Chains A and B, each alone.
Chain A
């Protein structure tokens, strides 16, 4: 499999409305800024624990969430900052969670690997690779049994597609025809192992055939293409049953904060940096005359401001009381 993702056409499907496009640009910028800030906090020694960054993969998360309806649910991955911001989580409380503060969305008890906000329809990031797939099937079953008009989007990575739960979940969703989109963000690495080494098919989406469900790939660095594919996937899930959509992209950063990239060629990383999905969306918006330089600059500035504000909020927030360690074990 080449490092260059297959390109998907976007010409014959509807395009996102302008305000959606601008929101996508803002949220992708917020995600980038959030992660750059988080990475800086690590180097400054201000945070303990770990984080997994989706820099370069923002379109694959936010292109999807922008295509959803408010009642839809997502299960995020451990690399899910973009997915969470896209689903409308409060950035202040995300940052506070990252810093382990009492005001964090999980009261400082989950950290950014377990960020969840059920009120925003984010059923949570999972630290166990592939665990979210059957859980998403359960949420889709719940949707069915409660006769709700809603779709569940289950994000997972190329690595998770090798877990047994991938097989069990896709099969179960397929036989029950549940409204769930299996959204594989193929960032080409399962920790250090390249997708070309851990999978023996040229395109992960062909795996859908084994379950009798639709499966196809999109250019995960093209936010518009991802949005179009996600709209289509959502509609299939809502009306027919599950489908598998693969957004092909690239993990610019290491697996987690403690990764020295010893297993890959730095030149390739640089090539992918040049394909930055944010720059790409910006160029596309300008080219189409959908936004001006000033508008986009203002959105970038707002993203920076929002993250600064979130950091200030988080830093000013108290640590959890020691007693908090003993609450929420049981309902």
Chain B
């Protein structure tokens, strides 16, 4: 709803006071906020027309500014059907910020009729026209002050300056909007709070790309553009693994997570599958001696992949400890930049989010990535009867330039076998 009335809380200037443009003149209260109304011109406050506490319609004249000793015109306390600006200006320097620094004797009015060419066009200087266009003012409603009948900047500028209600200006500033770019729905095309609210409602929020977001965008787009990838999925029976974790829990101490177990199984498998522990760079397959496992970690507004180096040499507990520390530090943003370099394979886990299947995107120049999904209980036919087993879906995306489906499947089965035949390492 547009603001229709305001309550005058307090006059900050008294009649006879000198007021500079932009100086607070009075304080008003609306249904939403309490705010100061600034003087839109410099001069002397000739009259304050309403007492403190009065409720005044928005189009009502509340004060007169002018030269010392000037008599304010007779006042009607009801707004007329042709609205007039809230503060009348009778001052010689109406707009210091514009160059039209002379008599602002014009006003919005229904009469007298402005000068017009016979074809209905309104003569105006380019400067007046430019301002009117920028502020969406109708020149036909402006009365010229120059004897030649053409509108000058000084005729238009005072009207343009008043075209945004103070509340709308405040709301627009908060929303980062230029209120003058909007069509005003208030009287005389004035931009009101409602216009701002409407404008904000329909607008997307523009979020500039952070450095990390930009990097992710570039690398993921590069991966999809360059790499002919395929995703293989299977499920590992991790009932025994879960049981082992329960036993470890009961024994106390830190217990490697299911993801740690996957990392451990993957590290071992990669040592046997050199094409998966590889990078594809400039038409060459580089098979790396060490398994440097990338672990995808969600952070605020993004994703990072710190690297666990020499993972194939670590015990499960050591790998678990390293993974835990690394992830914590990555989340805290404390890892040095080189901790993210040199990965040879990546594991990404959406299991904690209940994801049953997904197709991870390879982190180039690596040749494959393993996605770990949510474990679930499944009925399995075993020995002629149905038993409930815990199943962990795994999704391997591989670069088909390096790894064919059969090789990928063999690798995935090797991981599956490790997890299923779980021996406490």
Direct A–B contact in the complex, CB atoms closer than 8 angstroms: no
Query: B residues within 8 Å of A by Cβ?
Result: none
Query: A residues within 8 Å of B by Cβ?
Result: none
